[in-house]
A = this chain, B = another copy of it.
Amino acid sequence: MEYLFSKSTEALSSSVVREILKLTQGSRVLSLAGGLPAADSFPIAEMREAFDGAFHLGATALQYGLTDGYIPLRQWIAERMKQKHIHVGVDNMLVTTGSQQAVDLLSRVYLDEGDVVLVENPTYLAAIQLFHFRGIQVIPVEADEDGMDLDDLAKKIAQYKPKMAYVIPTFANPTGKVWSMERRLGLLRQCKENNILILEDDPYGEIQFDGEAPYRSIFSLDEHPTNCCVVYTSTFSKIVAPGLRTGWALGDERVIQMMVKAKQAVDLQSSTIDQIALHQLLANFDLESHIAKIRASYKERMEWMNELLLRQQWEGFSWQKPRGGMFLWATLPEHVVSADLLKIAVEEGVAFVPGEAFYAADTKTNNMRLNYTLLNHEDTELAISRLGKALERYSKVTV
């Protein structure tokens, strides 16, 4: 038997980075690479009770459910979204297996092979990978600290006639960046004028460090939510726990219902019991206090990493202190190839994600993404010190 894989699998070819990171699994390597929440942030006891509570519904908790998701959970989400100036009903909403699935489903109902998606450069690597897997052209738009450059956006729209723009405007992955209001409104206006659908991915919006009002989602800035040019997706992965694989997408009913039909063909529905248990938790849980605790804890970890990096004074090593989210994006001297550095770093016992993985084009090779949420203070200190040793060895090798 000679296996004849589909053309699209070419986009799935193993990356060097993934292969290196695989080596770190279960080893003594301290990982700043993943996007894992701190294990001590999970409400384990409450979640255990919530699962127990879910069984009070009897067989319903284990039976097939609706493809679009458990209605009380969707009602709870709709209610909470009001705090964020988003006013939608349950028919505007679909529960997904993490927000990752929302990206897949929307791409499948909205994009054909060869269609163009605009993204920030750099952006979430799994989104790039998914779009490439679907044969979609991913075109990067220039960006600075405030978000996409609106002039370059106009240029790319004129040049490529995109059908969609994929953005993470609040505490972006990998850069941690927050878009200014001007850029949010500018993207919205240009997309409306050119009939471009915006996919707003907001997994990190709740992890805000400054205690101010949350940043307005682009979805909430659209004046016509019933004929909206934004589909918004978020997840419980970062504010409750990722192992429940529960995210959601919301938008115009026609778009959402098309995603529901796609989901019916793809996996019928996400876990019934997880959705019911999550609803049980949320109904009896002070989520706001819980999120406040996560924010405080992650802020402390971020400040600690920031402090450790400041102490190092590595030459040509710079970063913007994150205002939220889970990642610190660092720039190394131009000659450093961070994927090569990673090999040495893994030998020293520390891992990170080289920046090149996050570029759809015009790849820069001298960045790294550091996660500060997973490790405790002691391990973070050790990890940064190992990173220092790796940098030292790297500079000797390449001199």
Binding site for B on A (CB under 8 A): 1-9, 12, 14, 34, 36-37, 39-40, 42, 44, 47-48, 51-52, 55, 58-65, 96-98, 100-101, 104, 108-113, 115, 126, 129-130, 133, 163, 192, 195, 197, 224, 227-229, 241-245, 252, 254-255, 258, 261-262, 264-274
Contact = CB atoms under 8 A, between A and B. Distances in A.
Tell which of A9, A52, A255 has the most Cβ of chain B within 10 Å. A9
Nearest to A34: B64
Nearest to A107: B6
Nearest to A40: B59
Contacts of A252: 1, 3
A127 to B, nearest CB: 9
A258 B5 contact: yes
B112 A7 contact: yes
A242 B62 contact: yes
Contacts of A267: 96-98, 100-101, 104, 245, 267
Given A44-B59, A59-B39, A64 B243 contact: yes
A61 B243 contact: yes
A50 to B, nearest CB: 10
Contacts of A44: 55, 58-59, 61-62
Contact of A241 (B62, B126, B268): B62
A104 B12 contact: no
Nearest to A59: B39
